[in-house]
């Protein structure tokens, strides 16, 4: 490719949009060529230019999208209809229908979709899967804990669900069949093989995640702490550089990091 990669930012006015723009500043291999946000923001001052709209995405090689599942689906369907650009999607709070729509769009364009773009978190997911393969579901209970700032609107977080999926893969089962997302009242004994989720919301917590394997005699805990959103922005930019020119398909950070090579 001649010149730097042309990157668009969907959700440009949000915290992640601003972090991605800052991460790209001064890079020789990639540059921001478009920013857009919610309808009605077109023409607002942004960086050294003004905000555009999703209809302008055809001018980009890759769009990095941290918005909402509905907005991400609309963007992906429009990109698939014109065979580009490639997408990096970090939106969270997905439903089954929206997931299927992204799968359909990925038949026409390359898409990297992840609940978390942190290198550390994705290594953590690999370790959780390996531990789940080796620790019996009859003897070891799995609990995923996550904490985020008070403004986060979905729970469990996309990262927590990603970690739960990793544990389920390790045990060769579907997360939907074994997950326990809430406990209240007289719940009875914990079912063998259940993967539980515990959630905290408060203050300005960027992101805390841990996965505990608990047996009668011992516990094993893997954990990750996010200190600054720039780590997610760096991962998203790395994904954008990786996905440019890839064949159509739905990828995740395990692909970007080469864990599936």
Q: For the residues 212-241, what does the mean pLDDT come to?
A: 94
pLDDT beyond 70 at 1: no
> Is 224 in the active site?
no
CB 157 within 8 A of CB 148: yes
CB 207 within 8 A of CB 158: no
198 phi/psi in degrees, rounded to 5: -125, 135
Average pLDDT, the chain: 94
| % of the chain surpassing 70 pLDDT | 99
Whether the predicted model's global pTM rises above the 0.85 cut: no
- The number of C-alpha atoms within 13 Å of 257 and in the hemisphere containing its C-beta is 19
pLDDT beyond 80 at 206: yes
- The number of C-alpha atoms within 13 Å of 33 and in the hemisphere containing its C-beta is 17
A 10 A CB-CB count for 40 gives 9
Residue pLDDT, tens place only, 15-52 = 999 999 999 999 999 999 999 999 999 999 999 889 99
Residue pLDDT, tens place only, 125-176 = 989 999 999 999 999 999 999 999 999 999 999 899 999 999 999 999 999 9
Domains, the chain, in order of start with CATH, read 5-113+229-256 (3.40.50.720), 119-226 (3.30.360.10)
107, 113, 149, 152: the active-site residue: 152
> Is 148 in the active site?
yes
Per-residue pLDDT, 259: 72
Q: For the residues 223-236, what does the mean pLDDT come to?
A: 90
Per-residue pLDDT, 261: 57
Residue pLDDT, tens place only, 73-87 = 999 999 999 999 999
Please list the alpha-helical segments (H only) found in 35-157: 69-81, 96-105, 119-134
Q: For the residues 207-232, what does the mean pLDDT come to?
A: 94
107, 113, 148, 209: the active-site residue: 148
* Residue 54's pLDDT band (cuts 50, 70, 90): very high
User: What crossing angle do the helices spanning 119-134 and 230-243 adopt, rounded to 10°?
Assistant: 80
CA angle 57, 62, 68 (to 5 degrees): 70
């Amino acid at each position: 490719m001649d010149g730097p990669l042309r990157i668009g930012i969907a959700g440009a006015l949000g915290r992640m949009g601003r972090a991605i723009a800052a991460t790209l500043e001064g890079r020789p291999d990639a540059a921001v060529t478009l920013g857009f946000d919610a309808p009605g923001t077109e023409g607002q001052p942004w960086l050294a230019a003004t905000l555009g709209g999703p209809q302008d995405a055809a001018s980009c090689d890759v769009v990095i999208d941290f918005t909402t599942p509905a907005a991400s689906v609309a963007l992906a369907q429009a990109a698939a209809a014109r065979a580009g650009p490639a997408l990096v999607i970090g939106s969270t709070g997905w439903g089954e229908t929206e997931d299927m729509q992204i799968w359909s769009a990925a038949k026409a364009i390359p898409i990297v979709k992840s609940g978390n773009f942190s290198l550390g978190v994705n290594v953590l997911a690999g370790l959780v899967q390996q531990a789940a393969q080796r620790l019996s579901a009859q003897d070891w209970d799995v609990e995923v804990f996550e904490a985020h700032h008070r403004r986060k609107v979905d729970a469990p977080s996309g990262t927590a669900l990603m970690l739960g999926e990793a544990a389920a893969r390790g045990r060769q089962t579907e997360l939907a069949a074994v997950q326990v997302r809430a406990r209240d009242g007289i719940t009875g004994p914990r079912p063998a093989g259940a993967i539980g989720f515990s959630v905290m919301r408060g203050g300005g917590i960027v992101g805390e995640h841990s996965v505990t394997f608990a047996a009668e005699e011992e516990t094993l805990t893997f954990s990750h702490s996010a200190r600054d959103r720039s780590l997610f922005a760096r991962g998203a930019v790395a994904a954008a550089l990786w996905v440019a020119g890839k064949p159509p398909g739905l990828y995740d950070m395990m692909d970007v990091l080469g864990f599936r090579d």
